[in-house]
Each structure stands twice: as C-alpha cells, then as structure tokens.
Amino acid sequence: MPQIKISSRLDPIKPSITLAVTAKAAKLKADGVDIISFGAGEPDFDTPEHIKAAARAALDGKTVGKYTEVGGTLQLRTAIAAELARVHHTTLTPDQVLVSSGAKHSLYNLFMALLDPGDEVIIPAPYWVSYPDMVMLAGGKPIIVETRAEDDFAVTPDQIRAACSGKTRAIILCSPSNPTGAVYTRAQIEALGKIVVEKDLLVISDDIYRQLVYGDAVYTSIASISPELAARTILVDGVSKTYAMTGWRIGYTAGPLPLIKAMAKIQGQSTSNPTNISQVATLAALTGPQDCVATMRAAFDERRQEMVKLLRAIPNVTCREPKGAFYAFPDVSAYVGKKSQEGSILDDDVQLCDWLCEVGKVAVVPGSGFGAPGHVRLSYATSMANIREGVGRLATALATLK
C-alpha cells in the first residue's frame, strides 16, 4: 500500500463539529436508537411548494441539464442584485453578484480570493465553526476576539482596535449570530462602522439569518449606514435558512467588482456554476410570494420561546435570549467537570456533549467548536414535541451528574 501524504495545508484544519454532531445523531437514529438531535442548523420545514413547482416545471424544459454562466444566470443575478440593493439601500449591478453552491462556498471563495499568507481576519467569538478553518485554508490567520455575554455578544470598537495589526484585512460580522442568536443594534453597528473606516478594513457581512429576527429585534445592514461603508462591505447571503432550502445548495456574494471577478475565477477553476435547477428554484424563492418566510419565522419564534423557558428552568443553566437565527446557546459550565453515574469525569463541553448523546439520547453541539467552551448550542428549528422531549432529556441527564 502506498503511503498517502496529506497536504500540510490541512494540519490546522478540524472537521466541522456541527456536521459531525449531526452525522453522529443520524447514525444512532439509523441504528434504531431513539435520539433527539438539536445538532445542525437546518429548518425542519419542507421547501415551500411554489419553489418546488418552479424546479419541477424546469425539469421539462431543455436547459436545466446544461451548464450556466459560472457565477449564475443573469436572470438570477439580476434578481439578487435587486433584492440586496433594496435591503442594503445601495446600488448593485448583476456583475457584482456571484452565485455559489451555498453561502459556505461563497465564504470559501471569498477568503481564497482575498487573503495572502499571514493576512489577518478578525473573528468575534462565539463564531460560526467554519470561519477560522476557512481563513486558515486560504493561508490567512484568524484573530479571535472574545465578546462578552454582558455586551450581548457584540464586539466593541475598543476590542477591534486592540486586535488590529498592520496585516488586518477584514472583520466578520454575523448578525443574527450563529451560535448566540445575538442581533447587533443600530448603535452597535454604527460604532463598528466607525472603526472599520478608521482602520481601513473590509466587513464580511454574513447575512444568512437576516430575515430570522424576533420580538423587537431589527436587522441592521452595515452597508446601509454610509456609502463609505457600503464600499467596504462584502455581502454574503443565501436561501438555505430563509426558505428551508439547505439541500439545494445556493448562496451568493455581492461586493466590489474586482473581488467578485477574482472569486468567479476561482469558481471557474474549481466547481463551475452552482446547480442549474437550484438556480431556478432560488429565482422562484426570491421573486415569488414571501408569506412562507413569515409563517416559518412565526413558528421559529414560538419554539424559541419554549426552548428558552425550558432551558432556564434547568438548575444552574443560564441562557440569554436569542433574538435571531434559530439557536439557543446556554451556559452549562456548572456541569463541566462533574462525574457521571457510569463513573467518567466530563472534563469539558465536548465530553459532556458526547455523554449527553450516548447516555442522555439528546444531541447538542459543544460550545468550544464556536470558541465558547462551557456552552452548548441547540437548534430550535425542530418540532415543539422534539423541543419538549429533548430539553426534558437534557434536564434529566444533567440532574444525574455529581
């Protein structure tokens, strides 16, 4: 057998913990284990019927089996440019839009196009698991800045100032946040905008959850604050979460033309166009009726309230109110370091989560994957019955720890 040497580029790269937890729960379920999974952030709803109907109709046409332009069809890019221009109060041409195979792919292309070895990207923690690894894959250096729960997990201008070096290129803004559900206020966005201009940075605005905000929380676009900020903002967006279209794999980036062209060059030499039929479905999602979004948002909101109430009722668990996305991110540090009835010491949140999955029959994602040890993430994009049963299992299991 030849010895296969794997590229050292992968040395610092970890597998995605969200996907790993989800796969583990799915495997247990397939083996007949009764497990409740709060793992992957994926709506449990089916893709709305009118979106599926558009894709079905396209199947009978002659073009759906063909390649499209690398960056997506002009029709779709035109619709995306119009939608993003409206949301961000800016002007965008279809040339400034690149459609990719999910927002994850958009971000990957972006870091590959943007970063030279050693270039730094500021990533406020808790962060979505894939940001640091994608930055490292592109040869960049993630600079993790820990936000505070008492600041509602918003990064402060002073923290950014302290994190900046001569090599800082960009900061990632994810509001609503995966994993905390925090939504930056307008004042927080304005303060962030000031320092971005002062330090000559780019903002990578990951807006994948922008339509999922609850109560009195409002999504604020940093690009809408001033033309100067609009020129520095790279918008990353997609249909996975808003339209229950995770499996269709469509995300998009809009931003400065030279950057979009560079990303298109990478895409043209790697994956080519995103799936043709998914582009048809995305066009239907963006240009069709929007009441499906409101219906799903209302359901997520009810589940959010129930999950937070149940989590807060568990002794020694604290849970801030998530105001957007579909995750609760409770602090379970009181249970870290405790001993299970089987006799093992659960030294950190990863061990705690493994034990919860195997013994408690409930799958949650360890906070350390998001740069926040002592926490766990639960997705409430699942049924109310699962939420009640699953958080019940969590409470029962935790109560047995000594």
178 binds ligand GLU (CB under 6 A): yes
- Which of ligand GLU, ligand PMP, none lies near 16, with the C-beta cut-off 5 to 8 A by kind? ligand GLU
Residue 208 vs 259, nearer CB to ligand GLU: 208
φ, ψ of residue 171 to 5 degrees: the values are: -125, 145
Residue 164 vs 280, nearer CB to ligand PMP: 280
Pairing between β-strand 202-206 and β-strand 168-173 as defined by DSSP bridges? parallel
Q: How many Å apart are CA 17 and CA 227, to the nearest integer?
A: 38
Residue nearest to ligand PMP (CB): 102
238 binds ligand PMP (CB under 6 A): yes
142 binds ligand PMP (CB under 6 A): no
Whether the CB-CB separation of 356 and 363 falls below 8 Å is answered with yes
Binding mask 363-402 for ligand PMP (x = CB under 6 A): ----------------------------------------
20 binds ligand GLU (CB under 6 A): no
Binding mask 168-197 for ligand PMP (x = CB under 6 A): ------x---x-------------------
Residue 90 vs 278, nearer CB to ligand PMP: 278
251 binds ligand PMP (CB under 6 A): yes
> Rounded to the nearest whole angstrom, what is the least distance from the CB of residue 103 to ligand GLU in the complex?
9
> Rounded to the nearest whole angstrom, what is the least distance from the CB of residue 327 to ligand GLU in the complex?
8
| Ordered strands of the 327-328 beta sheet | 327-328, 376-379, 365-366
41 binds ligand PMP (CB under 6 A): yes
* Options 5-13, 61-69, 122-130, 342-350: segment touching ligand GLU (CB under 6 A): 122-130
16 binds ligand GLU (CB under 6 A): yes
> Rounded to the nearest whole angstrom, what is the least distance from the CB of residue 370 to ligand GLU in the complex?
9
Residue 178 vs 273, nearer CB to ligand GLU: 178
Binding mask 31-50 for ligand GLU (x = CB under 6 A): ---------xxx--------
Chain positions 88 to 117 lying near ligand PMP, rule: CB under 6 A, are 102-104
Enumerate binding residues for ligand GLU (CB under 6 A).
16, 18-19, 40-42, 104, 128-130, 178
